Chains A and B, each alone.
Chain A
Amino acid sequence: MTATATSARSDLSELGRSETALRTFLHGLPGVDQVGAEQRAAQLGTRSIKTSAKAQAIDLAIRMVDLTTLEGADTPGKVRALAAKALRPDPADPSCPHVGAVCVYPAMVPYVAEVLRGSGVHLASVATAFPSGQAPLEIKLADTRAAVEAGADEIDMVINRGAFLAGRYAEVYDEIVATKQACRDAHLKVILETGELATYDNVRRASWLAMLAGGDFIKTSTGKVPVAATLPVTLVMLEAVRDFRAATGRQVGVKPAGGIKTTKDAIKYLVMVNETVGADWLDPDWFRFGASSLLNDLLMQRTKLTTGVYPGPDYFTLD
Chain B
Amino acid sequence: MFEYAPAPESRSVVDIKPTYGLFVDGRFVDPTDGGSFKSINPASEEVLAEVAEAGAQDVDRAVRAARTAYEQVWGPMPGRDRAKYLFRIARIIQERSRELAVLESLDNGKPIKESRDVDLPLVAAHFFYYAGWADKLPYAGFGPDPRPVGVAAQVIPWNFPLLMLAWKIAPALAAGNTVVLKPAETTPLTALLFAEICQQAELPAGVVNIVTGAGETGRALVEHPGVDKVAFTGSTEVGRAIARAVAGTRKRLTLELGGKAANIVFDDAPVDQAVEGIVNGIFFNQGHVCCAGSRLLVQENVADRVLESLKRRMAQLRVGDPLDKNTDIGAINSAAQLARIRELSDAGSAEGAERWSPPCELPERGFWFAPTIFTGVTQAHRIAREEIFGPVLSVLTFRTPAEAVEKANNTPYGLSAGIWTDKGSRILWMADRLRAGVVWANTFNKFDPTSPFGGYKESGYGREGGRHGLEGYLSV
A residues bordering B, Cβ < 8 Å?
Answer: 30-33, 35-37, 39-40, 46-54, 56-57, 60, 239, 270-271, 274-275, 279, 282
- Asked whether A53 lies within 8 Å of B4 as measured between CB atoms, the reply is yes
Given contacts A31-B270, A239-B272, contact A36 B5 (CB under 8 A): no
Known contacts A53-B3, A54-B5; A31 and B316 CB within 8 A of each other: no
Q: Given contacts A56-B2, A57-B2, A274-B2, is CB(A48)–CB(B442) below 8 Å?
A: no
Q: Using a CB–CB distance below 8 Å, which chain B residues touch chain A?
A: 1-7, 113, 117, 268-273, 276-277, 316, 325-326, 422, 442-443
Complex Cα–Cα for A239 and B325 (A): 25
B313 closest partner in A (C-beta) = A275
B273: which of A33, A48, A56 is its contact (CB, 8 Å)? A33
Q: How far is the CA of A239 from the CA of B273 in the complex (A)?
A: 11
The CA-CA distance from A30 to B316 in the complex, in Å, is 22
Q: Looking at the complex, which one of B5, B272, B316, B443 makes contact with A53 (CB distance below 8 Å)?
A: B5
CA distance A48 to B7 in the complex (A): 6
CA distance A129 to B442 in the complex (A): 41
In contact, B272 and A37 (Cβ under 8 angstroms): yes
Instruction: Say yes or no: A48 contacts B272, CB within 8 Å.
Output: no
Within the assembled complex, what's the spacing in Å between the Cα atoms of A143 and B184? 71
Query: Which residues of B are found within 8 Å of A270, using beta-carbon distances?
Result: 2
Contact call B5/A30, Cβ cutoff below 8 A: no
- Majority SS of interface residues in chain B? loop
Nearest CB of B to A224, in Å: 29
Q: Nearest CB to that of B6 among chain A residues?
A: A50
Name the 9 nearest CB pairs between A and B, nearest first.
A36-B273, A48-B7, A48-B325, A33-B273, A53-B5, A33-B270, A30-B271, A31-B270, A274-B2
Instruction: Looking at the assembled complex, report how far the CB atom of B400 sits from the nearest CB atom of chain A, in whole angstroms.
Output: 20
A32/B7 in contact, CB under 8 A? no
B268-A31 in contact (CB<8A): yes
A-B contact count (CB 8 A): 65
Assembled-state Cα–Cα distance A274/B315 (Å): 12
User: A33 and B5: CB pair below 8 A?
Assistant: no
Contacts of A275 in B (CB 8 A): 316
Given the interface pairs A46-B113, A275-B316, the reply to whether A32 lies near B270 with Cβ below 8 Å is yes
Chain B residues whose CB sits within 8 angstroms of the CB of A50 once the complex forms: 5-7
Cα A35 to Cα B440 with chains together (Å) = 13
Q: A279 with B1: in contact, given A31-B268, A36-B277 (CB under 8 Å)?
A: yes
A49 and B117 in contact, given A30-B269, A275-B316 (Cβ under 8 angstroms): no
CA A57 to CA B4, docked complex, whole Å: 10
Most buried by A among B113, B269, B271, B272: B272
Cross-chain contact A36 with B276 (CB below 8 angstroms): yes
The answer for the CA separation of A53 and B7 in the assembled complex, in Å, is: 10
Q: Which of A36, A49, A51 contacts B270 (CB 8 A)?
A: A36
A47 to B9, CA, bound (A): 12
The reply to whether B7 and A40 contact each other, CB–CB distance below 8 Å, is no
Closest to A29 in B: B271
User: Known interface pairs A30-B269, A33-B442. Does A40 touch B276 (Cβ–Cβ under 8 Å)?
Assistant: yes
Complexed CA–CA distance, A47 and B7 (Å): 9
- Residue contact B270 to A53, C-beta cutoff 8 Å: no
